[in-house]
Amino acid sequence: MTIAACYLSGEGVVLGADSTSTVFVAGRGEQPGSEHQYNFAQKVFEFGEPGSTVGVALWGLGSLGDKSYRTLIAEIADEAKKQDLDSLTAVAGLAASMFWVQFTTAFADPLERVQKLNAKGEERTDEERGELAFWEQNLSGGFCIGGRWGGSRCPTAHEIVFKPQQTSAPEPQPLTVGNPKFWGCPNLIERLTRGMDYPLFKRILESGKWSGTPEELVDMVEQGALGQPWDLPLREAIDWIYASIYTTIRAMKFSHLAPVCGGPIEIALISSDRPFRWVRHKKMGEAIAAHRTKEDRL
């Protein structure tokens, strides 16, 4: 899990993410496995060689089998250059296709199991429903690719969301200017800005206690939502992305839930007049530096 974000403005694209990575570690012998959180993963990448005008932010699934996200992103960038694609939309489509090949190869067995469980529909047992929910949680995620491509000065961004129930590569969805997007663990920001997160909205509708329409519920909730200005200047967009990720990390830390968000916050920017730039980026020795700081306090 993670908290990843993108803000598309008329001036550029801001990408951000935390650094916590949740990995399932298999047990030994009869010992059960367990989840571990590592706090120095990288989830925002420059797309291709230095000087690129495209960036990628990731969320969800912690790994792709024996191929890292870093390697896959580099391979996609190489292929995009080789094919001489003419737009970022085409690049996003290529990224979705190449990701899908790796995803379905690395997780062939559980994905086949998900399809069998899906086919059972209402005939699923409670145990099978629990198993399906587990795979939905642990085999879902996606990435956002944003910036400029070729000679274009117009920044764009696309989200590519994948779920284990899908049977073909996901279709990239374009983002709109001035509409910030959050993925992975967006609930807190949705509650803050919209008055209610989607899971709560769904629970109310399915509870049988709401007699109105979904649109009427949205209208009622939005009366208490915090409005957002449209098309923020770049520096304000950077502040908004940082504040949202930081708030989510702190909320998860002090909640009853697992600390699935945390670690250093990374933010990158691609503006209409400049290539990929880091706003905040941890060094390769960040984990060592953090450990050393703790020792110095003793």
Domain count, the chain: 1
Looking at residue 25, its pLDDT comes to 62
Q: Report if residue 227 sits inside a domain.
A: no
Looking at residue 205, its pLDDT comes to 92
Q: Report if residue 225 sits inside a domain.
A: no
For residue 122, the 8-state DSSP code is: G
Whole-model pTM: value is 0.88
Tell me: pLDDT of 295 over 80: no
Integer angstrom CA distances of residue 38 from 110, 118, 268: 24, 32, 21
Looking at residue 179, its pLDDT comes to 87
Using only C-alpha atoms, the chain has a radius of gyration, in whole angstroms, of 20
Q: Report if residue 208 sits inside a domain.
A: no
Quote the CA–CA distance of 151 and 201 in Å, as a whole number: 43
CATH code (residue 260): 3.60.20.10
> How many Cα atoms are found within 13 Å in the side-chain-facing hemisphere of 196?
17
pLDDT, one tens digit per residue, over 191-240 is: 888 888 888 889 999 999 998 999 999 888 888 787 776 789 999 999 99
Neighbours of 35 (CB within 10 A): 13
Quote the CA–CA distance of 54 and 91 in Å, as a whole number: 10
Q: Report if residue 195 sits inside a domain.
A: no
Q: Report if residue 114 sits inside a domain.
A: no
* pLDDT band per the 50, 70, 90 thresholds, residue 26: low
Contact (CB, 8 A) for 54 and 48: yes
Q: Report if residue 262 sits inside a domain.
A: yes
Which sign does the torsion angle of CA 154, 93, 185, 17 carry?
negative
| Mean predicted confidence (pLDDT) in 177-182 | 90
Q: Out of 55-64, 101-110, 227-236, 269-278, give the one with best mean pLDDT.
A: 269-278
Q: Report if residue 11 sits inside a domain.
A: yes
Amino acid at site 67: K
Looking at residue 261, its pLDDT comes to 87
Looking at residue 296, its pLDDT comes to 62
Q: Report if residue 197 sits inside a domain.
A: no
Looking at residue 117, its pLDDT comes to 92
Burial of 237 (0-12, 13-18, 19+ CB in 10 A): buried
* pLDDT band per the 50, 70, 90 thresholds, residue 293: low
Beta bridge partners of 174: 158
Tell me: pLDDT of 294 over 60: no
Contact (CB, 8 A) for 36 and 77: no
Tell me: pLDDT of 243 over 60: yes
| Mean predicted confidence (pLDDT) in 160-164 | 93
DSSP string, 44-110: EEESSSTT-SEEEEEEE-S-BTTB-HHHHHHHHHHHHHHHT-SSHHHHHHHHHHHHHHHHHHHTHHH
Residue 165: which domain range? 3-24+35-108+141-186+234-297
Average pLDDT, the chain: 89
CA 247-251-41 angle, 5° bins: 75
For residue 5, the 8-state DSSP code is: E
Quote the CA–CA distance of 4 and 58 in Å, as a whole number: 7
Tell me: pLDDT of 12 over 90: yes
| Mean predicted confidence (pLDDT) in 121-146 | 91
